[in-house]
Amino acid sequence: MNAYVRRFDRKESTEKKDQKISAYFPPPMTKAFWKAVGDKGAIRDSDYVLGPIYSGGDMQIGVTGGVAYHEAFDKAVSRELGEEIGLVPKRKEDLNKLYKNRTGKKIMQVYDCFINDTTPVLDHQHSAKITTEKDTPDLKVGCFVYGTKSTILKFLNQDKIYVYHSDDNIVGVGAIKVSDVWEALEKKK
C-alpha cells in the first residue's frame, strides 16, 4: 500500500510504494472507519490518516491502546496519540467520539480528530512516561487523526517529531490515503 513514512531518525518523510500494513485492526476500528468516512462523517476519501510505524516495519492504521486504571477514555486516547504519533488534541472537545463497542465487560471507544485540532508533543515532553499504571485489560481506545495531504506532510516533514516515552517499539509515523484504506477494507468483506 502507498504511504508517506517518517522514521524518527530521519529528517523528512519519504513516499513508500509497498508499505506493510499491520494486521491489527479490531472490528470497532473498522466500524468507526465506515462511520467517519464519506457522507456519514468528516473524513474525506482524499484525506490521509496517521498511524505509528513499528520496529518490524509495519504501519498501523490509526492509533489504538489501552485505558489505564482510573483513566477516562478521552484522556487515554490523548495519551495514546502522544505516545504513538506525537500529537495531542488541543482541547477535549476536539475529539469526536465515533463509535463505542461493548462486548460483555470489554469496551472500546473510537474517536477521530482533525490534524489542525492537534498540537505536537514538545521536545521537553518526549521522555515523559505519562502513566506507570497497567492498562485495564477490558478497556481500549482508538483514534483516526486525519487531514489533507498538505497538512499531513507538513506535520511529517517538521524539524523533529517527539512522542511520549512508551515500550511499544514505535520508530516513526506514517500516513495512508483514506481511499486506499477504504479499498483494502472492501476487499476484506
Predicted TM-score of the model (pTM): 0.93
- Domains in the chain, number: 1
For 25-73, write each residue's pLDDT tens digit. Answer: 889 999 999 989 977 789 999 999 999 999 999 999 999 999 988 889 9
The C-alpha cell of 107 is what?
Answer: 469496551
Q: Say what the pLDDT of residue 144 is.
A: 97
Going residue by residue through the chain (189 aa), what tens digit of pLDDT does each one get?
A: 899 999 999 999 999 999 999 988 889 999 999 989 977 789 999 999 999 999 999 999 999 999 988 889 999 999 999 999 999 999 999 999 999 999 999 999 999 999 999 999 887 566 655 655 667 789 999 999 999 999 999 999 999 999 888 888 999 999 999 999 988 888 776
Question: What's the N-to-C CA distance of the chain in angstroms?
Answer: 18
Q: Say what the pLDDT of residue 173 is.
A: 98
Q: Say what the pLDDT of residue 69 is.
A: 85
The C-alpha cell of 70 is what?
Answer: 482510573
Q: Say what the pLDDT of residue 124 is.
A: 59
The C-alpha cell of 131 is what?
Answer: 502513566
DSSP state letters, 63-124: EEEEEETT--HHHHHHHHHHHHTSEEESSGGG-EEEEEEEETTEEEEEEEEEGGGEEEPPGG
Provide the angle, in degrees to the nearest 10, between the axes of the packed helices 27-36 and 178-188.
130
The b-or-e profile of 54-80 (16+ CB within 10 A means b, else e) is beeebbbbbbbbbbbeebebbbbbbbb
Full domain range(s) for residue 139:
3-188
Q: Say what the pLDDT of residue 11 is.
A: 93
Helix (H) or strand (E) holding 153: helix 149-156
